[in-house]
Each structure stands twice: as structure tokens, then as C-alpha cells.
Amino acid sequence: MSYTSTIFVRTQKQHVKAQDRTEALQQMSDEDLMEQFQAGTVEAFNILVDRYSERLTHYLYGFLGDMKRCEDLLQETFLRVYRNRHSYQRIAKFSTWLYTIAGNLARSEYRKRKRRRMYSIQSVNRDDEEYEMEIPDESFSPDRYAESTIQDQYIQNALKQIPESFREVVILRDVQQLAYEEIAQITGLPMGTVKSRINRGRTKLQSLLKDVYQVQQS
């Protein structure tokens, strides 16, 4: 066998081994992938990013209604996973840990965006003194929800009208399909509060949708 043929065969074997390793990683659980990542296998991290990018995009968009900012927070979430990988312990599900990071970022952004912005507008009071007026910024609509997440327009409109505390847990449960225990860990709420808010959120949604469909039928 020539030197060139030897190199070709060796390269092919390496390629096959790399494929086998990738397939083996893809079959692993999230928690196993994190262990691999903590041991230095960056490919395991890339697989986790692929697994959760779309779901986290829907989750973050439910808070912000701003796709560009949502993409920024998605990148920040995975950046924190990358930087803090050694702080993860297998006693917790990886998805719980991941959603906690994303949820903290989203809630922080939500609070920041809800604050009124100050606009320097020169106005005059009755004493002819100039002062600055506070005008609320109404351009931000944090509770819009992507059509790709919930297709029915009436459900989207109803989601806009329920309080944030109900909307978050309903999205985690009914859209993200997370278990009650996981939602409790992500939100930091007691189990009873989680179940109560989900039930109350669903009741409010049902009431709103009932009214909508009654209007449609009339």
C-alpha cells in the first residue's frame, strides 16, 4: 500500500470514529452530556444547544415579544451555561438548571423594560418654570406571543390579558410541557402555588376564550 493510500485509509477510519462518537453523544441524556462537557467534550455542549435552542426561543419570546432581544438572551443563556458548567451538579435535571438561567434573564429584562423611560421634554408649569415630564414608553409589548408557539390567534390574544405570574407557569406547563416539580424549581415557587397559578391561569384563559368564541358565533 502506498503512503498516500495509507493516509487516506487512516483519515477514513478517523472520520468513522468521529461519526460514531457523535452518534453516541446524541443518544445520551442531557445530564450525561453535561458530564461529558464538564470533562472537556465541547461537542456535547453543541448538542445541548441544538436540543434546546428552539424551545428556549419560544419561552423567552413569551416574556419579551421582541425576537432580536430574545436571540440576545438565548445567546447569553448558553454563554452562562458554558462559563458555569462546573457549577452544575447532577442532582438537578439539566433542563431545570437551564430554564432557571433563562428565566432569571427574562424576568430581569421584563422588569427593566417595564420601567418608564424618561424623556426630556421642556414644559412650563403655572409659575413659568421649566421641568421634565415623565412619559411612559408604550412601544414595548412584553406579552405578545409568537405565532409559531401558539397558532390560534384567539389563544394568543387571551394570553396577553392574563397576569404575568399566571402566564409564565401556563407557558411552562402547557407549551413547554414541563413537570410541576420542574416548574416549581425554575420559578422558586412552592408546589401548591405553582398548581394554583396554573389552574387560575387556565380558568382565566377559558373564560376569555369563551367570551371570544361567543362573539364569533353571534
- The model's pLDDT over 133-171, given as tens digits with 9 standing for 90+, comes to 333 343 334 344 333 334 446 666 677 788 888 888 888
Domains and CATH numbers, the chain: 24-113 (1.10.1740.10), 145-211 (1.10.10.10)
| Rounded Cα distance, 218 and 42, in Å | 58
Q: Are 145 and 156 in contact (CB under 8 A)?
A: yes
Q: Are 77 and 102 in contact (CB under 8 A)?
A: yes
Beta strands in the chain (DSSP E): 118-124, 130-134
What are the backbone dihedrals phi and psi of residue 128, each rounded to the nearest 5 degrees, phi first?
A: 60, 30
Q: Are 132 and 118 in contact (CB under 8 A)?
A: yes
| Rounded Cα distance, 173 and 194, in Å | 10
What is the structure's pLDDT at 92?
84
pLDDT in tens, 186-202: 999 999 999 999 999 88
| Best CA proximity match to 101, nearest among 186, 14, 13 | 186
Residue 44 has pLDDT above 70, yes or no: yes
pLDDT in tens, 60-119: 887 777 788 889 999 999 999 999 999 999 888 999 999 999 989 988 887 776 653 333
The CA distances from residue 174 to 32, 75, 178, in Å, are 27, 24, 8
Give 44-75 as a DSSP string.
HHHHHHHHHHHHHHHHHHHHH--HHHHHHHHH
What is the structure's pLDDT at 78?
96
What is the structure's pLDDT at 212?
54
**Confidence (pTM):** 0.64
| Best CA proximity match to 63, nearest among 7, 130, 117, 141 | 141
